[in-house]
């Protein structure tokens, strides 16, 4: 057939709505050919269905002198010619390409949706099919009334392909096949008609390319940035269909995927409820992504120890972006050809850029200290910087201070952490702790290890054992009341970090696997927010593994093994206290970077503890206090309890703590533990 003249559709703009009009009228033209054949002539068809005359008049302006069969052929040829000159995204064109449809086949399939635009077609289908209330064409009617769109392929196969990608749905699948009724989902029809549609925000959200930054604007280490900039090529020329970005939450994983979509010239279809991997939401997401020229992006998770399942998104040509945790494998049809990018927490140089950018330069002289002191995810830095900048401005300050940043971190998303742990106040420094020289030396070493936890791996690069991680694990062991928890609070104050104590009642669960999930969530939140995690009385979780004699033994050992692995991969600061070191599994001790032993205080240390705990107004004779410190072997916690009791007695009698009240308090402490007080009357 000769090349058609380019004038037939020259007045149609290069826009999805204009393309839909061309296809819509072409579908009507093809339908009129079939209806005319069924009625005996076109005149009989118009007599029976007068509204067809209006469509015929509009079509005759462009196709005068042609029979219906010739008009259909000419229309398809002109449509193909018009499309070749259009570079914008046309939903109907990409649909036909994805489903393998010719123009004639596409127009035939659109007949199923004519009623969505003009209700009069419903009355026509009802009349022709002879079934009251049947306003949509059945598959049997389509096969009998309309000329076959292809001689090589049965029309039912075209419908099957369209159904597979979700553009058509069967309303009565329980009926015999010839009676099947098809319809276009509302969102699909709207997207085909206008190139846009209303998306249910509870399920998905569409964002155009301009909502995202470009790849070269991302703040990333050089090695990761080079990989990120290569992702569009891998998804295009290399034939990869899925890109997986692994890393902590709130660390720019979806921002990176959005930048990749923008580099491909596509928007992003954010899937907000991706949990059910076999759900119909994935069929809807694949079709919408195709029609809206978008890349679907979802955050997928799996229980600890299980792989993340990537659904088989259709059509196969749709590229999928997945954000997931740093650990875990992949499963599913798309896992084999997925491109994986590991996005770790930003290092000090990247954090400095982020604070400079999001703080709008207000960090000033504190920029380096802030970047080095707060190991936060990139998204958390952005939120904290905005909050700290606002707070500093309201206070009339000239710039962001360290205290502003610490307060800003409290405003971050901590719901998951607060459910599983309790925040403890941390202030002061180790000068407030009365302990032996060896204990203080180990605590100073622990502080040094925490401050240099990011520089240490680089300093040890190339060592035979490999680079250590950024995590710090410390065991604080000793009798009850010797200052282990106090030391943890003072350590948090020294490092200017928040301290969270594990709440065993919230973490331990009787159901299999739930304890591991809770622990994993707790460690994950602590890493993202850069808080110090305290496992007080840690021997409850770190007990020795036993021989497997019952199912309970087996699952208890599984919990211990999981905790061992998670502690080893933990990149934050973890403090564990215990009164009974011998109950802890030796494998845990081997993984400790620092072990700090707290002993019962000496007489000199007890003297100092009494002096620090007693109120400034106390009237206790020094000789008597020295005797109490020398004779009564109390721990720091017991001394604190005694001072509280003595103060309460004093409040009933003038408010001044005297030797008499101290003696009474000490004797009470001995009675509590079932001992005999060595003090003389």
Pairwise CA distance, residues 357 & 337, whole Å = 36
**Beta-carbon-side half-sphere exposure of residue 553 (alpha carbons within 13 Å):** 7
Q: What is the pLDDT of residues 432-451, one digit of tens each?
A: 888 888 988 999 999 999 99
Instruction: Give the mean model confidence (pLDDT) for residues 394-423.
Output: 79
In-domain check, residue 47: yes
In-domain check, residue 350: no
In-domain check, residue 10: no
Q: Which two tokens stand for residue 656?
A: 């001044």
DSSP state of 344: P
Please name which of 373, 377, 367, 364 lies closest in space to residue 412, comparing C-alpha atoms. 377
Residue 92's pLDDT is 95
For tokens 């919990």, name the residue. Answer: 559
Is the Cβ–Cβ distance between 222 and 349 less than 8 Å?
Answer: no
DSSP state of 536: T
In-domain check, residue 681: no
Instruction: Give the mean model confidence (pLDDT) for residues 231-251.
Output: 85
Same domain, 323 and 375: no
Same domain, 337 and 365: no
Query: Of 289, 308, 342, which closes a domain?
Result: 342
Long-range contacts of 275-278 (CB under 8 A, 24+ apart): 277/309, 277/310, 277/311, 277/332, 278/311
List the domain range (segments joined by +) for residue 402: 357-409
Q: What is the pLDDT of residues 203-232, one digit of tens each?
A: 889 999 999 999 999 999 888 899 999 988
Same domain, 443 and 307: no
Quick one: pLDDT band at residue 547, thresholds 50, 70, 90?
A: very low
Q: What is the CATH classification number for the domain harbouring 552?
A: 3.40.50.300
Please name which of 300, 298, 297, 295 lies closest in space to residue 317, comparing C-alpha atoms. 295
Q: What is the pLDDT of residues 534-546, one digit of tens each?
A: 988 766 666 654 5
pLDDT at 555 over 50: no
Q: What is the CATH classification number for the domain harbouring 644?
A: 1.10.8.60
Same domain, 520 and 637: no
Same domain, 638 and 541: no
Same domain, 48 and 187: yes
Q: What is the pLDDT of residues 68-80, one digit of tens each?
A: 888 989 999 999 9
Same domain, 472 and 552: yes
Instruction: Give the mean model confidence (pLDDT) for residues 287-314.
Output: 87
Pairwise CA distance, residues 67 & 63, whole Å = 9
Same domain, 131 and 117: yes
Same domain, 653 and 565: no
In-domain check, residue 588: yes
Pairwise CA distance, residues 558 & 303, whole Å = 14
Please name which of 322, 296, 125 lies closest in space to residue 205, comparing C-alpha atoms. 296
Same domain, 323 and 400: no
In-domain check, residue 282: yes
Same domain, 449 and 552: yes
Query: Of 548, 575, 597, which closes a domain?
Result: 597
In-domain check, residue 149: yes
How many structural domains is the chain composed of? 5
Same domain, 665 and 646: yes
Pairwise CA distance, residues 549 & 470, whole Å = 38
Q: What is the pLDDT of residues 565-592, one digit of tens each?
A: 788 888 889 998 888 777 776 777 777 8
């Amino acid at each position: 057939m000769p090349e058609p003249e380019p004038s037939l559709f020259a007045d149609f703009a290069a826009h999805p709505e204009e393309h839909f009009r061309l296809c819509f009228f072409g579908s009507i033209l093809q339908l009129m050919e079939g209806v005319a054949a069924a009625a005996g002539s076109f005149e009989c068809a118009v007599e029976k269905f007068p509204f067809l005359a209006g469509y015929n008049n509009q079509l005759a302006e462009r196709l005068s002198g042609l029979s219906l069969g010739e008009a259909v052929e000419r229309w398809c040829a002109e449509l193909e010619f018009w499309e070749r000159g259009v570079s914008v995204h046309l939903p109907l064109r990409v649909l036909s390409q994805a489903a393998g449809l010719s123009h004639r086949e596409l127009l035939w399939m659109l007949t199923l949706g004519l009623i969505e635009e003009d209700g009069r077609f419903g009355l026509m289908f009802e009349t022709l099919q002879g079934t009251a209330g049947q306003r949509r064409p059945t598959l049997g009617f389509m096969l009998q009334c309309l000329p076959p769109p292809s001689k090589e392929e049965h029309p039912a196969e075209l419908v099957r392909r369209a159904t597979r990608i979700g553009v058509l749905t069967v309303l009565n699948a329980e009926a015999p096949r010839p009676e099947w009724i098809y319809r276009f989902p509302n969102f699909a029809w709207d997207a085909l008609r206008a190139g846009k549609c209303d998306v249910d925000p509870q399920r998905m959200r569409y964002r155009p390319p301009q909502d995202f930054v470009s790849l070269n604007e991302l703040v990333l280490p050089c090695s990761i940035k080079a990989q990120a900039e290569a992702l569009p090529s891998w998804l295009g020329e290399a034939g990869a269909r899925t890109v997986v970005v692994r890393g902590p939450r709130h660390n720019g994983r979806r921002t990176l995927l959005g930048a990749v979509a923008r580099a491909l010239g596509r928007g992003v279809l954010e899937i907000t409820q991706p949990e059910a991997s076999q759900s119909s939401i994935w069929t809807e997401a694949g079709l919408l992504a195709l029609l809206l020229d978008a890349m679907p992006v979802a955050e997928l998770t799996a229980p600890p120890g299980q792989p993340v399942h990537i659904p088989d998104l259709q059509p196969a040509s749709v590229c999928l972006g997945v954000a997931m945790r740093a650990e875990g494998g992949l499963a599913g049809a798309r896992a084999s050809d997925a491109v994986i990018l590991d996005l770790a927490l930003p290092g000090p140089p990247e954090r400095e850029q982020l604070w400079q950018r999001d703080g709008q330069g207000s960090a000033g002289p504190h920029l380096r200290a802030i970047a080095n002191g707060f190991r936060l995810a990139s998204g958390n830095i952005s939120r904290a910087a905005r909050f700290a900048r606002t707070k500093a401005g309201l206070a009339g300050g000239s710039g962001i201070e360290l205290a502003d940043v610490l307060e800003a971190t409290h405003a971050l998303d901590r719901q998951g952490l607060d459910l599983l742990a309790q925040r403890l106040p941390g202030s002061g420094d180790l000068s407030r702790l009365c302990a032996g020289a060896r204990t203080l030396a180990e605590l100073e070493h622990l502080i040094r290890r925490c401050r240099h936890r990011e520089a240490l791996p680089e300093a040890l690069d190339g060592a035979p054992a490999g680079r250590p991680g950024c995590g710090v694990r410390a065991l604080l062991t000793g009798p009850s009341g010797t200052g282990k928890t106090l030391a943890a609070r003072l350590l948090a104050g020294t490092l200017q970090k928040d301290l969270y104590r594990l709440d065993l009642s919230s973490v331990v669960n009787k159901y299999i696997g739930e304890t591991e999930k809770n622990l994993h969530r707790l460690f994950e939140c602590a890493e993202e927010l850069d808080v110090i995690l305290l496992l007080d009385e840690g021997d409850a979780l770190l007990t020795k593994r036993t021989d497997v004699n019952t199912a309970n033994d087996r699952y208890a050992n599984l919990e211990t093994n999981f905790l061992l692995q998670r502690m080893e991969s933990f990149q934050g600061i973890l403090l564990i206290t215990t009164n009974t070191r011998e109950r802890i599994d030796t494998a845990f001790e081997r993984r400790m970077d620092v072990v700090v032993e707290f002993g019962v205080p000496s007489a000199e240390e007890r003297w100092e503890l009494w002096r620090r705990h007693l109120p400034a107004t106390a009237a206790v004779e020094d000789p008597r206090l020295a005797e109490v410190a020398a004779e009564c072997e109390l721990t720091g916690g017991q001394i604190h309890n005694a001072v509280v009791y003595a103060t309460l007695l004093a409040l009933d009698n003038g408010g001044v703590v005297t030797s008499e009240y101290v003696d009474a308090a000490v004797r009470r402490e001995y009675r509590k533990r079932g001992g005999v007080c060595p003090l003389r009357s």
